[in-house]
Chain A
Amino acid sequence: MSKEKIKKQIMNLAPVVGLLLLYGVFMIMGTVKDINIAYGMKAIINQSIVVAVVATGAIFIYTLGSFDISLGASVATSALLGGIVYNATGSLLCMFLANIGVAVFISLFNSILASVFNLPVFVTTIAMLSVLNALVLVLIKVNGTGSEIAVPAEAVKALDTTGFKVLILVLFLVLCIFVFNFTKIGRMQKMLGGNEICARLTGISGKKMAIIGFAMAGIGVGLGAFVSTIYAPTLTKNTASSVGMDVIIAIVFGGMPVSGGARSKITAAVIGAFSMTFLGQIMTLMNFNSGIGQMVKAVIFILVVFVATFNQRSKMLPR
């Protein structure tokens, strides 16, 4: 391997190295401060898992070079409808199916709306964000107590274990890795993200791939909603409201190029989601207040992404 190549390799692994580094810092600081590390790891998994699952699905959208800002609202909507379904049927399976169904429906609606009417997906999702936020309020008003829709805590308690949640993440990740790396779909999506015209002239249907991509993202959103519900079964208007932006941050932090294409990595989401949580925990250990903590986070975020993409600088400013 040439020197250049080694350098490239290191840059490419920057997000992974970043994660390991953050993990190390957390362990060291945790040991020094004598915290309950074992419980902490569990907490970190709990705190990362929803974002990790949703972001992993969203990689399919990002690979296409698209962008979905309504994912958080979508998680909330699907969690709420799932909650309504549970309260009506008393079946967790029904809730699960409702979670997935609703999320996939929303996602497909987004992509079909965009492809039928030739709209830029991103703008469609901005509009969708408003619609879903409003829908959340309406759902809670109509079907809940007004301030919440609650699934009984006992009903989901059995599932609220780290093992189960990690299992969901791993299964979904494996599914996504399979689809992304070992089937035609992943290749076609990367090609579309890299050069849409060329992909079309290679017989790859942008619309079909967008629909598949959004469907995969929808599954991620549905799983996220499910995991979110079993973790915190009381759903309110702000449920999952931070997920939308966290997903974007996680994906980028994990080393995924925002423009999508051939450099897309399916594992970026998980790496990014866990990195951000570790970072948050470290901020807590350092006793930063919200303002300072957020500033430090911002700086580290930019630095990591900067290092990870150091070998991709061009003469012109990126857009």
Chain B
Amino acid sequence: MEKKEVIVEVKHMDKRFGSTVALNDVSITVRRGEILGLIGENGSGKSTVTSIIAGMQKADGGEMLYEGREWHPSSMINALENGIGMIVQETGTVPGITVAENIFLGEIEQFKKGVINRKQMMRKAGEILDSIGASHIKPQMITGALDLQDRKLIEIAKVMSKNPQILVVDETTTALSQIGRDIIYKIMEKMKEENKAVVFISHDLDEIMNVCDSLTVLRDGKIIVTFAKEEFNEDLIKTSMIGRELQGDYYRSDYDGRYDSEVVLEVQDGNLGDQLIDFNLQLHRGEILGIGGLSHCGMHALGKVLFGAEHMAKGKVLCHGQMVKDEAFAMKNRIGYVAKDRDVESLCLNASIKDNIAAGGLDQFAVSRFLILPGREKAYVQKQIDGLSIKCQEMNQYVSALSGGNKQKVVFGKWIGRGSEILILDCPTRGVDIGVKQAMYQLMYQMKKEGKSIVIISEEMAELIGMVDRLVVMKDGRISKEFERSNTLSESDIIQYMI
């Protein structure tokens, strides 16, 4: 295979955050006309290296060449102006300003003729949105009023408006529905055709193997291996990502979708805006129930409703026949809830592992449900840390310093520790690396076998197919289809009911 022209070369890059080494002697080559995939567990350094290339932060050592010249971007805007654009994993838009202002964030000067010419800015923003196929977004809309997907599209518009030579897509697709994904894929393909380059980061192995021309695996801040398209092999990639062979099953291996007939949690005639419409659902003892759909089909709201964290306009949620009126009631009845937006909803980042795990189990280890003895608290927390093998220096370490997977383990520890019988998991493996994912799947399966009930709300079809006893597909606040567990179920079967 002929080697294509090199556009960016990273040589021996080092980066450190305090005492943790994020990048250790990393060298990457990006070529024109190619989509390069980066894959690795959380904290492997893939986002770090791309964010350095795109000017978000600076390296501690090593060098970068861009089109043969030394490359030291001062900011993302600076990088973008020079042809390197990045769409970030987290929200990259400012909610309180208009779409147009977001598109020209940090480069408003171009409309300055004495004062900022607003009209001109709006017009130009409209043109850019049209060009990427997102005409439904109007430039003067307030960004915060748009949904996640449209906000991502704005970021894409912002980047594409600069006509970049290199596009970095950092786990963007996780947050998008198929429509959004298609827009991105189209853009990536187009760039490739125009002999530009794309760096694509994703956790989704299937996706990355489909899209990319070559694939670089990182682990613990080091480059492990680079595969060319023809060398792609799922097991091999996985092994190199986690540094060992995956032992045992990834998902559960059985296709026995049986569960107890006893209903432990149910929604009756639920109505909540356009999120839930005349909604009925039952969860049984020992059942893993999957909820699938597009990101705004109402399933995330359903998760909150089941936990009593959101109140429906009409209808009721019953747990063992009793109304779930609030979160405290839900917890008393051994319901646990792992929220989708982990850093915002499930964890207190500026608190220790101990604080976070203990917060869920106060009534478990407190004497007379009130008095807290430090010894008992520590023992309780240590048990969860050991049980879930949370990687940390000590339990007083701040959660903010942990990797995504370990953070999620802390969340699990919070709920499992208190002996939850019913777990509502909203995108439990979002942003979690394969090793941890596997552990979690096995844990869920184990819990099912113990007679516990689990609801998995997920946008990843593969994990739903792999794990659930029963799959409910939602569309626009209603159930559009129900599937029983089967080894013949495929993603395309499901997707047609989602769109």
- Asked if chains A and B are in direct contact (CB within 8 A), the reply is yes
Answer yes or no: A139 CB below 8 A from chain B CBs: no
Answer yes or no: A39 CB below 8 A from chain B CBs: no
Q: Which stretch from A91-99, A118-126, A165-173, A197-205 is at the chain B interface?
A: A197-205
> Across the interface, which residues of A come within 8 angstroms of B414, CB to CB?
202
Shortest CB distance A143–B (Å) = 41
* A198 lies within 8 A of B344 (CB): yes
Answer yes or no: A188 CB below 8 A from chain B CBs: yes
Shortest CB distance B357–A (Å) = 11
* B347 lies within 8 A of A4 (CB): no
Given A202-B327, A203-B330, A262-B348: A4 touches B355 (CB 8 Å cut-off): no
Given A182-B372, A184-B369, A194-B350: A201 touches B345 (CB 8 Å cut-off): yes
Shortest CB distance B428–A (Å) = 14
Answer yes or no: A261 CB below 8 A from chain B CBs: yes
Answer yes or no: A297 CB below 8 A from chain B CBs: no
Given A261-B350, A261-B351: A200 touches B359 (CB 8 Å cut-off): no
Given A184-B363, A188-B362: A203 touches B350 (CB 8 Å cut-off): no
Q: Chain A, interface size: which category?
A: 20 to 34
* B328 lies within 8 A of A183 (CB): no
* B351 lies within 8 A of A190 (CB): yes
* Cross-interface CB contact of A199 among B326, B332, B339, B359, cutoff 8 Å: B359
Contact with A along B342-372 (1 / 0, CB 8 A): 0011111111100100111011001001111
* B372 lies within 8 A of A198 (CB): no
- Which residues of chain A from 1 to 59 have a CB within 8 Å of any chain B CB? 2, 4
Given A203-B327, A262-B351: A188 touches B359 (CB 8 Å cut-off): yes
Shortest CB distance B384–A (Å) = 14
* A184 lies within 8 A of B327 (CB): no
* A198 lies within 8 A of B345 (CB): yes
- Which residues of chain A from 182 to 223 have a CB within 8 Å of any chain B CB? 182-184, 186-188, 190-191, 194-195, 197-205
> Across the interface, which residues of A come within 8 angstroms of B362, CB to CB?
184, 187-188
Shortest CB distance A315–B (Å) = 9
* A201 lies within 8 A of B372 (CB): no
Contact with A along B310-354 (1 / 0, CB 8 A): 000000000000000011101110000101000011111111100
> Across the interface, which residues of A come within 8 angstroms of B337, CB to CB?
201
* A183 lies within 8 A of B355 (CB): no
* B328 lies within 8 A of A262 (CB): no
Answer yes or no: B19 CB below 8 A from chain A CBs: yes
Answer yes or no: B309 CB below 8 A from chain A CBs: yes
Chain A residue with the shortest CB-CB distance to B411 = A198
> Inter-chain contact count A-B, CB under 8 Å?
85
* B350 lies within 8 A of A201 (CB): no
Given A4-B18, A201-B339, A202-B327: A191 touches B348 (CB 8 Å cut-off): yes
Given A183-B370, A187-B355: A195 touches B19 (CB 8 Å cut-off): no
* B309 lies within 8 A of A201 (CB): yes
> Across the interface, which residues of A come within 8 angstroms of B371, CB to CB?
182-183
CA–CA, A203 to B332, complex, Å?
9
Answer yes or no: B373 CB below 8 A from chain A CBs: yes
> Across the interface, which residues of A come within 8 angstroms of B352, CB to CB?
262
Shortest CB distance A197–B (Å) = 5
Chain A residue with the shortest CB-CB distance to B372 = A182
Given A2-B19, A183-B372, A187-B372: A201 touches B359 (CB 8 Å cut-off): no
* Cross-interface CB contact of B370 among A184, A194, A198, A204, cutoff 8 Å: A184
CA–CA, A238 to B187, complex, Å?
69
* Cross-interface CB contact of B328 among A191, A194, A197, A203, cutoff 8 Å: A203
> Across the interface, which residues of B come within 8 angstroms of A188, CB to CB?
359, 362
Answer yes or no: B307 CB below 8 A from chain A CBs: yes
Chain B residue with the shortest CB-CB distance to A192 = B348
Could you list some 5 contacts between A and B, CB below 8 A?
A: A4-B18, A184-B366, A195-B349, A202-B414, A261-B348
Could you tell me which B residues sit within 8 Å of A by CB distance?
Answer: 18-19, 307, 309, 326-328, 330-332, 337, 339, 344-352, 355, 358-360, 362-363, 366, 369-373, 414
Could you tell me which A residues sit within 8 Å of B by CB distance?
Answer: 2, 4, 181-184, 186-188, 190-191, 194-195, 197-205, 261-263
Beyond contacts A188-B359, A205-B326: 17 other A-B pairs, Cβ-Cβ < 8 A, are A183-B371, A184-B362, A184-B366, A184-B369, A188-B362, A190-B351, A191-B359, A195-B347, A195-B351, A201-B339, A201-B345, A202-B331, A202-B359, A203-B328, A203-B331, A261-B348, A261-B350
